[in-house]
With several copies, the nearest count.
Chain A
Amino acid sequence: MDKRSTLKDAMSHVRDAMTIAIGGFGGAGFPEELVAELESRGCKDLVIVSNNASRFEQLINSGAVSRIICSFPFGGASVTLRKSIEDAGVELQLMPQGTLAECLRAAGAGLGGVLTRVGLGTSFAKDRQVVNVDGTDYLLEPPLTVDLAFVHAEQADRWGNLSMRGTARNFNLVMAMAAETAIAQVNHVVEVGQIFPDRCDVPGIFVDSVVQCSNVGNSKED
């Protein structure tokens, strides 16, 4: 069982019109080399699922993206990104950040959706089924399954076990869980057994390909 892969081989999973979840929160835990490779592939009609959208400006400008599902596409100052999204006719689908995380988890956990009070009485409740449980109303948010997940980790072994540092975990676990195929960009590939069994943030069962970063140590500023 050896999930190590070249960048090109791993990215051969990508097809037009796929839904791709991309981990990271700002630069922390963001798989930038996978995204750079995606940019070079000339795809069409991609649906991007990510917490933010600011790192996908080039992808959007190239016409590769038809929809973005995210919680915080850009801050108020991001005039060019907003214009890019409008010019490219990209559909922007906002979800509260916790609902986004939980819907990805639900997809990965084989659950039928998420019952949450977040968004009740707001525009986020539009088109949502309301389920009453013991007298309390909840929005039913459907599970969010994705074709591919691009995630990032500090360490991986060839079985796909991943270990992260700091706030880099963020969406990477739930996205790997929700994905048909998960590709991990990692800073270091270690021997099987070197990731301590109590310290594995994403069990290899959720990971399909491990790609060693070429740029370990480069700064990743937002």
Chain B
Amino acid sequence: MAWTRNEIAARIASDIPSGWVVNIGVGIPTLVPEFIPDEREVLFQSENGILGMVALGAQDYPDPELVDAGKRPIAVRPGGCFFESSLSFAMIRGGRIDLGVVGALQISRAGDIANWSTDEKMIGGIGGAADVCSGVRNLWVAMLHTTDVGGHKLLEKCSYPLTAEGVVDRVYSDLAVLERNRDEWHVISCAPGVTVAQVRHVTGFPIEVEGR
């Protein structure tokens, strides 16, 4: 039985060590913070200029000057800080962010990611995606394993415009968690009742035999 979006987010959350600084993208990644246990110190960075972002509490008054990269109202936790855009991207490009969790349209065997446009005319918005995908120390992708009509999203080569080349470390899909080492991928775990054979069937590149 495939994992739900919440289960994907929870699985990602459970894999994030204490002390990491994490940048999260739109889609399933936005669900990750709520699954981080309170006692684990994970700091969320948002590229519009905040480190230590937390969800707005039920009693908090939304501040128009305090938003995340999706322009949603947020709050800052004690020990958080604000900064301007060039310093924010210095952190990202400079490799200070331990982890980026992003969505994706396509992932290639070589770890390329396409996650912002389906169209060579480059209509759509890249936002901070290229910087985040290129700059973070670890890049984990949260996504459904296939398209709405069952097509492959994990492919030998991406056909959509790339966000960044050779950067994906892990894919957390509804079917499995996969990890990449150069051009080789293996399954870390499958959703309950899902077999590696089933994952291979919907994956456009080879998956290594376990134990090799």
Interface residues of A (CB under 8 A from B): 1, 25-29, 51-52, 70-76, 82, 92, 94-99, 101-102, 104-105, 107-111, 116-124, 154, 157, 159, 161, 164-174, 177, 192-193, 195, 197-198, 200-201, 203-206, 219-222
Chain A residues touching B, majority SS: loop
Residue tally, chain B, CB below 8 Å to A: 62
**Do the beta carbons of A118 and B93 come within 8 Å of each other?**
yes
List the B side residues contacting A203 at CB < 8 Å: 51, 81, 83, 87, 91
List the B side residues contacting A92 at CB < 8 Å: 123
**Do the beta carbons of B86 and A97 come within 8 Å of each other?**
no
How far does the alpha carbon of A189 sit from the alpha carbon of B83 in the complex, in Å? 22
**Do the beta carbons of B126 and A72 come within 8 Å of each other?**
yes
**Do the beta carbons of A167 and B50 come within 8 Å of each other?**
yes
Contact sample, A vs B, 19 pairs, CB 8 Å cutoff: A25-B85, A28-B48, A28-B66, A52-B125, A71-B126, A71-B128, A97-B127, A97-B130, A101-B86, A118-B93, A118-B130, A166-B65, A167-B49, A170-B48, A173-B85, A177-B94, A192-B79, A203-B91, A220-B64
Q: B131 to nearest A CB, angstroms?
A: 4
Q: B147 to nearest A CB, angstroms?
A: 15
**Do the beta carbons of A25 and B67 come within 8 Å of each other?**
yes
**Do the beta carbons of B67 and A109 come within 8 Å of each other?**
no
B149-157, B159-167, B192-200: which lies at the interface? B159-167
Give which listed residue, B19, B81, B90, B94, contacts A161 with CB less than 8 A.
Answer: B81
**Do the beta carbons of B79 and A120 come within 8 Å of each other?**
no
List the A side residues contacting B130 at CB < 8 Å: 96-99, 118-119, 122, 124
Interface residues of B (CB under 8 A from A): 18-19, 21, 41, 43, 45-52, 63-69, 71, 76, 78-97, 112, 120, 122-131, 134-135, 161-166
